[in-house]
Amino acid sequence: MNLSISAKDRLIFALDLPSRKEAEKYVRLLGESVGCFKVGLELFIKEGPDIIKMVKENSPASTFLDLKLHDIPATVSSALISAATHEVKFITIHGSGGKSILQTAAEVKNLGLEVLAVTVLTSVSELELE
């Protein structure tokens, strides 16, 4: 089994941008050079699933939905199933949601979706964690 990952596939470009127009500019520019485009909450809420479609139409790169899902297990499960229908490669859940959310994420692993758990937001200071 070959576990090596190409340099291109190690690159994830964050589309942390306010509009589809700006995101599309970067997808067209970098689409052949990166392995994945990350779509954050702001852009996804503003543009909806069409932003994922735009990435797919303009690049062979995969899509990473960084939504940090944090809700009751049934809602997280439904959201993960919905995300899988858009053929995204990665999606984030919030690890602080507890064991039940993590178990829910593990149960939907057969959807072809890689679920990543965010445990601490970068905006949280060390003092706040104490």
pLDDT at 37: 98
Q: What does the block give as tokens for 8?
A: 């291109």
| Helix H or strand E segment including 20 | helix 20-30
- Domain ranges, residue 59: 8-129
Q: Contact at 8 Å (CB) between 27 and 17?
A: no
Q: Is 68 assigned a catalytic role?
A: yes
Q: 3 in a domain, yes or no?
A: no
Q: What is the pLDDT of residue 100?
A: 84
Domain containing 125 — which CATH number?
A: 3.20.20.70
The answer for residues whose C-beta is within 8 angstroms of residue 29's C-beta and 6 or more apart is none
Looking at residue 67, its pLDDT comes to: 94
Which of these is catalytic: 68, 89, 99, 109? 68
Q: What is the pLDDT of residue 120?
A: 64
- d(C-alpha 44, C-alpha 97), whole Å: 21
pLDDT at 15: 97
Say what the pLDDT of residue 124 is. Answer: 65
Does 1 reside within a domain? no
Q: For residue range 30-43, what is the model confidence (pLDDT) as tens digits?
A: 999 999 999 999 99
Ranges of residues in the chain whose predicted pLDDT is under 50? none
Buried b / exposed e along 52-69 (16+ C-beta atoms within 10 A)? bebbbebbebbbbbbbbb
Please state the domain count of the chain: 1
